[in-house]
Structure 1
């Protein structure tokens, strides 16, 4: 299978950030399930920010958008290392902006308080699949883990 046919990114920090966030999360910080519209905004915002970070080889803005525990564990330089293969392969997936989100599973907030969103975009020539985790951080849902497949 050619290198461009499938990119798989499993950010190992998902478990670490979720664990750290679960400890830091108190009932005052808990957020309600966001509406489908807000879920779409969360997904597209993060994926476009990641796309831009890869294209510019600059992870400062992505770093600013992630949850506090994730920011503390993964400074921009470490995020760059995590997504190095996407940079090297010049992965582009900004077409998600104009495409509808197709949910592969219902959104849920798990027992650790992590909002789990899993789905894909039927973009051409490559389909973009994602699994994202968000936690309450700074009063909003912020990224705590990411898996992206571009096939």
Structure 2
């Protein structure tokens, strides 16, 4: 009995037809469908920076603010910043940090204290380097948040937020201790702590 040749050829031709590339119109339709799918929102990604790099950026930024607050001269802080920070004049920066100057905030301790990061360095969707953390000083804890923008092949300060918090247990309310007698003012030695500058007594 002779085999049914047309049926055999059809069985061979069908898989081959399925393996053929789609017509150009069908391919274009699939590409259009893929392009029409909404892309997911961009997310921050971890920054490629080591611990030493983080320490340099954090300490240099906070010490620059500290020196500007102590001298009242914000020109150097402005010159060290990114173009976005330089959009402010030195006088405008002085107004922004006026409350810290009035409180006599001393940030010199950040030169030797070890910061604890609460937000690991990450690159935001706008390309800026973002990090946050605190210095666990006693009695005051310094919280910070920093933004750096790329400029001249390096990270330059774009934005900064500094806030003090209490880092020591509170004693219960009790009778107020008598005020100490006035004494001659003596210089305070540098210490590895965040503090406010003591005010001198009146003569």
Give the alignment's TM-score, normalised by structure 2: 0.56
Residue matched to 1:7: none
Paired residues of 1:59 and 1:76 also in contact (CA < 8 A): yes
- Structure 1 vs Structure 2 CA RMSD: 1.2
SS in structure 2 at match of 1:124: coil
Q: Which has the higher helix share?
A: 1
SS in structure 2 at match of 1:113: coil
Residue matched to 2:63: 48
Q: Which has the higher contact order (CA 8 A, sep 6+)?
A: 1
Aligned length in residues: 119
Residue matched to 1:67: 82
Deviation at 1:137, TM superposition (A): 1.0
Name segments (4+ residues, structure 1) moved above 3 Å: none
Deviations along 1:102-144, whole A, 9 cap, x unmatched?
A: 0112210010001001001011221111000001012210011
Residue matched to 2:92: 78
Deviations along 1:28-67, whole A, 9 cap, x unmatched?
A: xxxx632221111000001011011101111111111110
Q: 1:126 pairs with 140, 143, 150, which one?
A: 140
Question: What runs of 5+ residues in structure 2 fail to find an aligned partner?
Answer: 1-46, 166-203
Q: 2:130 pairs with 83, 102, 116, which one?
A: 116
SS in structure 2 at match of 1:74: coil
Residue matched to 2:199: none
SS in structure 2 at match of 1:104: strand
Does residue 144 (structure 1) correspond to residue 158 (structure 2)? The answer is yes
